[in-house]
Amino acid sequence: MVFGGIAEVMIRNAMTIDVEDYFQVSAFASHISRDTWESIPCRVERNIDKILMLLDEKHIKATFFTLGWVAERYASMIKRIADSGHELASHGCNHHRVYELGAALFREDLIKSKKLLEDRGGNPVVGYRAPSFSINSQNLWAFDLLEETGYRYSSSVYPVRHDHYGMPDAPRFAFYPNPKAKLLELPVTTVSLFGRNFPAGGGGYFRLWPYAVSRWFIQKVNDHDQRPAIFYFHPWEIDPEQPRQKGIGMKTRFRHYLNLDCMEKRIRLLMNDFNWGRMDEIFLDHAG
């Protein structure tokens, strides 16, 4: 960004993509059984290829938090992500919330998803994001297992109040859940207004707020807090032609389908308005 011929140094924010298909979202879990996933037409590859083209056009490197289920079935796509210079990170295997698995199964899930992504991408996997931000005050043991299984950071906490997730009392910015350990937690971005944290890191809120609000939120984090923002979206959010699910509640329908036709345009604006990079390069290079 240039003002009066003088280049302003912009904070580099983290652009992240949660790689899952439209039928794998947690909000559909009670409507679409995991046993039926194999029989449902997938659209993740076409959407990821569109995202890769957009990132290349804007000269942005991003972090792709990827389901092991997707990596198993789309090996060439995973290789394209890695070969394009993006970071591959884990989103678990089958989009189970951490508290649904328990400690033993969660450990197995961490190991399996990490190995799958490393085998397909050819690079070490050091980052993890829990499906539906499902690490909270009731399962802090998850952080110890992440470190034990070779991860260096997590982005699994959203410091907000929400009916499906959230850890509102967590720090808003990077912290070590165990001061004696080396695993770094990188919460999704919020802004503090009127004594409350408001979501500013993407997802459904990015489609709900007018773009000017989201832009102001991120700019506030950069300018006032002097911190990088962490933004995320899903491949299915740029796909307004995805099959519509029947029999879902009005709230779920509203949250999932709201403004899908505007999303790609908003993502393009966001990529133009801020400086973006990979999670590992922004945060781990300075973690000490």
SS3 for 128?
strand
Domain ranges of the chain: 22-286
Q: How far apart are CA 252 and CA 218, in angstroms?
A: 26
Asked if the model's pLDDT at residue 162 lies above 70, the reply is: no
Question: Quick check: 53 pLDDT over 70?
Answer: yes
Distances (CA, A) of 243 to 84, 113, 192, 220, 262: 29, 27, 37, 37, 17
Nearest to 231 by CA among 212, 215, 255, 210: 215
**CA gap 287, 278 in Å, rounded:** 14
The pLDDT value recorded for residue 2 is 35
Is the pLDDT assigned to residue 131 strictly greater than 50? Answer: yes
Per-residue pLDDT, averaged over 244-248, amounts to 89
Q: Considering the domain 22-286, what is its CATH architecture? A: Alpha-Beta Barrel (3.20)
Mean pLDDT, the chain, rounded, equals: 93
Q: What is the pLDDT of residue 84?
A: 98
pLDDT-based confidence at 9, cuts 50/70/90? low
- φ, ψ of residue 164 to 5 degrees: the values are -115, -20
* pTM listed for this prediction: 0.94
- The pLDDT tens digits of the residues spanning 195-213 come to 899 999 998 999 999 999 9
Considering 161-170, 194-203, 266-275, the range whose residues carry the highest mean pLDDT is 266-275
- In whole angstroms, what is the distance from residue 133 CA to residue 131 CA? 5
**How far is residue 157's CA from residue 160's CA, in Å, rounded to a whole number?**
9
